[in-house]
Structure 1
């Protein structure tokens, strides 16, 4: 296992196109090419607001950009499902376990019940029916020529006689009301049972020993270095990626090449690491593959780090959009984080990338509770509920409410890699006899912070 990380810093001071609001030159960031990174160093970097795309690691310039990107994490161990999230998991379960014909029968039965109950509950309609029946009866008596013999009158001490048809109708209404009450009680019990179910219970779609209609299997394969299973399924995954990019994001096929796919979602600077107190699969970069009836329909790109599962990207077959793969995969990954915690106690959080309050399409990440945003000035985690009022008032805001500030970094302590030798920056200055990069190193040092500054090796030619 490599015990060091090597990065090459690129200062970027010109604006470029924003993928969220479409502005041509209002997005700003600084980046590094990571030749290699330990998982702990990358964990520390994302806790400073950095994020990777392939081997390129970048940090948005929050106070300058049009759509500030706040790092967001969810506390997986205390995650609480919302009603809509529960509904989605039930929908997936129904798709996997109920035959289409049975769903149709259930729908038809519901329609028939509604057809029987509607006239009984429509008092105006029932009254109109009784009047028409009486008219028809009078007409029959008139045509038959029969006459009725008047009696002495009704006994006021006895209840009035009712038509047989009306008696039957009232009995039916009473029966339906009793059934409705019973169904309401059962529904209440069912809701109570569902409320008590955990995320793991709802993700367990198929009961052991049952015969599901569809088989959904989630497989974890290491993507860097590439495992044999990853290599075997590479082409299938790439085809899903190309279909997703061209259909969902409207990318031209020329931008969805295998080379682009590899650089973006396969290449990773993270070193493969294993430890006695870590997960069985180890740390590093992986693809979580979703196989439905033997067909690959979605892939979640994730990094397993010392304190979290970090979501990098998701792509899926647009034909299965009806299953809401984005939300479903996020719930699966939260469940996976909780599973990893069993063997790696320090691994407790699910990182969802960036939360962009000013972009409606990106605000959905705030629906996973409890979640926290990283303050861009103090680098502390603040509950998202406390952040949202501030972000409603201004796209960029200091989230930490105390006067806590980021620690200043002494650039003389920054570690650099020069002529294949690791050394503090102060030694490098003496050996290189050059101070032309001092301002650049100062900028780098403050962006990565004191801890990373002492562990990362900044490449110097």
Structure 2
């Protein structure tokens, strides 16, 4: 263990908010009148997260909205959230997806360029045959980029995609403002630079890179980034991504209304899948899937996808039978037999690999995140939430060596050194020890050594 004064980079700094009932559901509030529009989740604030630790959280049903982390209770929810992931190495685009890429490429390149380039830079017969018979996703998404086009001639438009830090710029905010106002029809007074910065910029994920050794022998970037799409030098779309050791996690996708006709949401998803394949991340996480929300159905058009079982935290193939299970039951657990309330197929022992790209975005998650304070607090350890240890289980967990940080000390503090530590009981909701026990249970007791409970005062900005 690190000495208390040494802030080791292995730690992720979290502040426990607690388990609460959101006052409103952003998914069904306008479609399920007369029914409860509340849902329970556990919430925490992240001061700093290592990419490896956050990937472990995502593989345990967590997601983030800005610095707010939350893990929903699928049993106690009007709209149960399920984590999905796609294997980019096995992905085969559908006819509709291939057509979307080809349509966009033709728009950028132009017929005149295609004709003249074929004459000046002809493909070999074997290459032409291969291209006709095989749709290489990575190749096709790069095809219209200016740096990959041969010249002369010149294409109709100059297209470029860059991976940039997730920092605020007025250029990005202009896309956000247009997207929220036109696509989501939000009133101007609900759209602000503060909101954009809070949810889509300056994430708590630390930025770095993996060791070299990907498909191209290069290191993979880690952290939060903005994938920026520019046509003729003008920013037209931004994909907000969390790049983790073994996945590309989609946070949000926004675009300018002028390219709506080009189906940018679909193009963005395909581009992110291509990034996962090309750079060696392998997995693409499209964020939560909410089966009873029609706007979420686009996510299951990308195959093969796996759904995370909330109880055994293993991955199950999201096939027709699995979707039928969602149709039949409000809460679905794939690790138990259907008559017992879950069960389908076999859990996939794909390495767990130690989160919303969409035309419609994931504003519902953001809106719900803002309600984290909730109007009814509850006790996580008595909630019977899927995948969470019970109170009896947590009573056997040794939290004495857990580290904390507070304003009154520049050093990290070992929990057992607190004066009140041995006098408090985790079974008493609201006490410091019970709040910490809830966080450890929600994260997973096996990750206790990777977190620091951060009780420092946070900026209101």
CA contact (8 A) 2:421 2:433 kept: no
The answer to whether structure 1 residue 417 and structure 2 residue 352 are counterparts is no
Write the distance in 2 (CA, Å) between the matches of 1:192 and 1:242. 43
Write the distance in 2 (CA, Å) between the matches of 1:101 and 1:309. 33
Q: Which residue is equivalent to 2:314?
A: 380
The answer to whether structure 1 residue 446 and structure 2 residue 441 are counterparts is yes
TM-score, normalised by the number of residues in structure 1:
0.72
The answer to whether structure 1 residue 218 and structure 2 residue 161 are counterparts is yes
SS of residue in 2 equivalent to 1:396: coil
Per-residue deviation, 1:281: 5.9
Q: Which residue is equivalent to 1:302?
A: 241
Alignment deviations for residues 129-186 of structure 1 (CA, whole Å, 9 cap, x no partner): xxxxxxxxxxxxxxxxxxxxxxxxxxxxxxxxxxxxxxxxxxxxxxxxxxxxxxxxxx
Cα gap change, 1:61/1:194 in structure 2, threshold over 3 Å: closer, same or farther?
farther
Following superposition of structure 1 onto structure 2, how do residues 20-419 of structure 1 map, counting pairs within 5 Å? 20-22=27-29, 25-98=37-110, 194-206=132-144, 207-209=149-151, 210-223=153-166, 226=167, 234-277=169-212, 280=219, 282-341=221-280, 347-385=281-319, 386-401=321-336, 406=387, 410-413=396-399, 415-419=402-406
Following superposition of structure 1 onto structure 2, how do residues 6-25 of structure 1 map, counting pairs within 5 Å? 6-22=13-29, 25=37
Write the distance in 2 (CA, Å) between the matches of 1:427 and 1:384. 48
Per-residue deviation, 1:192: 8.9
Larger radius of gyration: 1
* More displaced stretch, 243-252 vs 385-394: 385-394
Correspondent of 2:452 among 443, 451, 457: 457
Write the distance in 2 (CA, Å) between the matches of 1:192 and 1:360. 38
CA contact (8 A) 1:445 1:453 kept: yes
Cα gap change, 1:418/1:92 in structure 2, threshold over 3 Å: closer, same or farther?
closer
Write the distance in 2 (CA, Å) between the matches of 1:422 and 1:73. 36
Cα gap change, 1:428/1:97 in structure 2, threshold over 3 Å: closer, same or farther?
same
Per-residue deviation, 1:61: 1.5
Write the distance in 2 (CA, Å) between the matches of 1:35 and 1:204. 36
TM-score, normalised by the number of residues in structure 2:
0.72
* More displaced stretch, 244-253 vs 90-99: 90-99
Per-residue deviation, 1:430: 5.6
Write the distance in 2 (CA, Å) between the matches of 1:101 and 1:286. 33
Write the distance in 2 (CA, Å) between the matches of 1:349 and 1:368. 12
Alignment deviations for residues 358-399 of structure 1 (CA, whole Å, 9 cap, x no partner): 111102111111111111111111111152121111121102
CA contact (8 A) 1:33 1:56 kept: yes
